Amino acid sequence: MGGGRVLMDTWYRIPAFYFACPSTVLGPYDDAPTAPGSAWQDFELEIAAVIGTSGKDLTVEQAERSIIGYTIFNDWSARDLQMLEGQLRIGQAKGKDSGITLGPYLVTPDELEPYCRGGKLSLRVIALVNGTVIGSGSTAQMDWSFGEVIAYASRGVTLTPGDVFGSGTVPTCTLVEHLRPPESFPGWLHDGDVVTLQVEGLGETRQTVRTSGTPFPLALRPNPDAEPDRRGVNPAPTRVPFTRGLHEVADRVWAWTLPDGGYGFSNAGLVAGDGASLLVDTLFDLALTREMLAAMKPVTERAPITDALITHSNGDHTHGTQLLDRSVRIIAAKGTSEEIEHGPAPEMLARIQTADLGPVATRYLRDRFGHFDFSGIKLRNADLTFDRDLAIELGGRRVDLLNLGPAHTTADSVVHVADAGVLFAGDLLFIGCTPIVWAGPIANWVAACDAMIALDAPTVVPGHGPVTGPDGIRAVRGYLAHIAEQAEAAYRKGLSLPEAVETIDLGEYASWLDSERVVVNVYQRYRELDPDTPRQDLLALLVMQAEWAARHCT
């Protein structure tokens, strides 16, 4: 998906086609609903040939004569559903009610004769989203003529008047062809986006995308051939019950905790002053964030949220910002804001839920990330940024924001409520679950732990795991120092990265959840020691983790 125009040889042996849903067609100016459950809605600019006579086993010439007219065809596609359903070698992603737009005119073949070149129609086309050109080209780029496609499709199949055949997508006139490089990808379609398709001689379609509701979930069936998930429980002690929900940890200070603290199961917080509150982070999807904000309502009705601090750029702390009132001032460290601005769109995470990455990694990633819904998320970035520190006045109490990164990410902020003795540590702290170094350097994360200990807060709310105290900070510091030391020893011995991750002795930290994150942490240490260590993208690192877990977490 998104691999460009290099096609397998079979594409040049026979024309590829599929049968789409014929019972519902959108008009050229109708709103276009997204496929329910899809976060990757796309369009494809094609032209369509409409059959005017019945026939079977047609020759190419007979097929050409059977065409009564041509029109614009938008082949709407749910790419994430297509990826998932395609693994079964069958699928419904192209057969949704919202899958087809035709119009605005049916133009007869004789009217298009001036555009014929070498037996093919040569019509200039342009595809736009919100007025920005996504792609342009010509229908002359069809690999197979309509006559050839229709003749092949009629083999053993009776065609009837009104049957519609698409040309296939004009190259570049679909979002999926722009997936690489990721930093220039314009993003999938969202609610309110306007898609305009213009075809010479056929007119223009113009439609507004509208988000569909969440589909009714089906109960998953257990795979009898799969190894049981041996994921343990979070072993860390806790100062307050480590249960899903809101817990008051000090005077007018609350922690929202989400067991078990693994991927996406993150914590957040609320600090209230007189008539005003500060929210510390949102959650991984909109449903989780709505649940949290509803639980906070008894507090925020008296002390409305006026500010929200985003501790770092990871989606499990940022994906709910759109649910905040527009009056809420969002604050983040400058590095966090830059990562949000230039990072991948939230819906791209649907790939790790749907991609077929082999029996080990596929199950691992669906176990870890299958709980979340990445559709409909529109990130709000910071209204106010700071470099290293910022003090805010919150209804008569002082709250200090400190950027102690780079460590976990490029910038990692903590919230110190000195009058309550509370520190919100963000993802500088994983308690009972293994830290993961996305940015580093590790030495800077160790220094950040020292800085947090020096604040002398008796109550510490981590980004993941149960509420802790200074001893929890010391435990994370110990893990990071241990991994850095062992990774460097392996590097000095000349071990490759795969060899090193197999030799690391986790010792007392082996019982922490997600111990397979040692793969990423050793990788980052190797990158620090030798910048020429080959770069690995996020998906490759997650696959390596899954394979390590399969070997060691049994």
- The 10s digit of each residue's pLDDT in 232-275 is 788 899 889 999 999 999 999 999 999 999 999 999 999 999 99
Contact assessment for residue 121 and residue 47, using Cβ atoms and an 8 Å cutoff: yes
Instruction: Name the more confident of 494 and 215.
Output: 494
Determine the Cα–Cα distance for residues 26 and 99; give it in Å rounded to an integer.
8
Q: How many domains does the chain have?
A: 2
Instruction: Name the more confident of 142 and 528.
Output: 528
Residue 117, domain CATH: 3.90.850.10
Q: At residue 541, what are phi and psi to the nearest 5 degrees?
A: -65, -40
Q: Is residue 534 part of a domain?
A: no
Instruction: Name the more confident of 23 and 18.
Output: 23
Band of pLDDT at residue 120, cut at 50, 70 and 90: confident
Whose structure tokens read 């959108």? 26
Determine the Cα–Cα distance for residues 49 and 147; give it in Å rounded to an integer.
10
* Bridge partners (DSSP) listed for residue 156: none
Contact assessment for residue 520 and residue 438, using Cβ atoms and an 8 Å cutoff: yes
In this prediction, residue 209 carries a pLDDT of 96
Determine the Cα–Cα distance for residues 503 and 506; give it in Å rounded to an integer.
9
Pair 460, 363 in one domain = yes
Beta-sheet strands, E only, within 190-316: 194-199, 203-210, 245-250, 253-257, 268-272, 277-280, 305-310
Q: Is residue 485 part of a domain?
A: no
In this prediction, residue 192 carries a pLDDT of 94
Least confident range of 106-110, 127-131, 209-213, 471-475: 209-213
Question: To the nearest whole number, what is the mean pLDDT of the chain?
Answer: 92
Pair 204, 251 in one domain = no
Residue 20 has pLDDT above 80, yes or no: no
Pair 264, 205 in one domain = no
Pair 17, 86 in one domain = yes
Residue 438, domain CATH: 3.60.15.10
The mean per-residue pLDDT over the stretch 82-90 comes to 73
The mean per-residue pLDDT over the stretch 547-554 comes to 87
In this prediction, residue 353 carries a pLDDT of 84
Q: Is residue 503 part of a domain?
A: no
In this prediction, residue 11 carries a pLDDT of 60
Band of pLDDT at residue 399, cut at 50, 70 and 90: very high
Of the three residues 162, 194, 210, the one that is the final residue of a domain is 210
Determine the Cα–Cα distance for residues 59 and 153; give it in Å rounded to an integer.
11
- The predicted model scores a pTM of 0.82
Contact assessment for residue 408 and residue 442, using Cβ atoms and an 8 Å cutoff: no
Pair 115, 264 in one domain = no
Pair 150, 251 in one domain = no
Sequence-ordered list of residues with C-beta below 8 angstroms from that of 496, at least 6 positions apart, any chain: none
Q: Is residue 67 part of a domain?
A: yes
Q: Is 536 helix (H, G, I), strand (E, B) or coil?
A: coil
Contact assessment for residue 366 and residue 346, using Cβ atoms and an 8 Å cutoff: no
Its domain, for residue 150, covers 9-210
Pair 296, 404 in one domain = yes
Determine the Cα–Cα distance for residues 179 and 299; give it in Å rounded to an integer.
43
Instruction: Name the more confident of 203 and 370.
Output: 203
Cα→Cα distances 478→200, 471, 475, 529, Å? 67, 10, 5, 20
Pair of tokens at residue 357: 């990455």
% of the chain surpassing 90 pLDDT: 73
Q: Is residue 114 part of a domain?
A: yes
Pair of tokens at residue 13: 């042996």
Pair 204, 323 in one domain = no
Residue 366 has pLDDT above 70, yes or no: yes
Determine the Cα–Cα distance for residues 524 and 535; give it in Å rounded to an integer.
10
Q: Is residue 308 part of a domain?
A: yes
Q: Is residue 289 part of a domain?
A: yes
Pair 169, 299 in one domain = no
In this prediction, residue 22 carries a pLDDT of 64
Least confident range of 182-186, 227-231, 325-329, 414-418: 227-231
CB atoms within 10 A of CB 33: 18
Pair 398, 293 in one domain = yes
Q: Is residue 106 part of a domain?
A: yes
Residue 447 has pLDDT above 70, yes or no: yes
For residue 406, say if its preceding peptide bond is cis, omega within 30 degrees of 0.
yes
Among 406, 391, 221, 199, residue whose Cα is nearest residue 307: 391
Pair 120, 200 in one domain = yes
Among 212, 168, 164, residue whose Cα is nearest residue 22: 164
Band of pLDDT at residue 80, cut at 50, 70 and 90: confident
In this prediction, residue 229 carries a pLDDT of 66
Residue 1 has pLDDT above 50, yes or no: no
Of the three residues 210, 236, 253, the one that is the final residue of a domain is 210
Residue 5 has pLDDT above 60, yes or no: no
Contact assessment for residue 271 and residue 302, using Cβ atoms and an 8 Å cutoff: no
In this prediction, residue 141 carries a pLDDT of 86
85, 89, 90, 96: CA torsion to nearest 10: 40
Pair 178, 250 in one domain = no
Residue 34 has pLDDT above 60, yes or no: yes
Among 423, 431, 435, residue whose Cα is nearest residue 242: 431
Determine the Cα–Cα distance for residues 524 and 542; give it in Å rounded to an integer.
14
- Report the range out of 23-27, 168-172, 406-410 with the highest average pLDDT: 406-410
pLDDT one-digit tens code per residue, 293-305: 999 999 999 999 9
Of the three residues 185, 210, 235, the one that is the final residue of a domain is 210
In this prediction, residue 554 carries a pLDDT of 67
Q: At residue 231, what are phi and psi to the nearest 5 degrees?
A: -60, 130
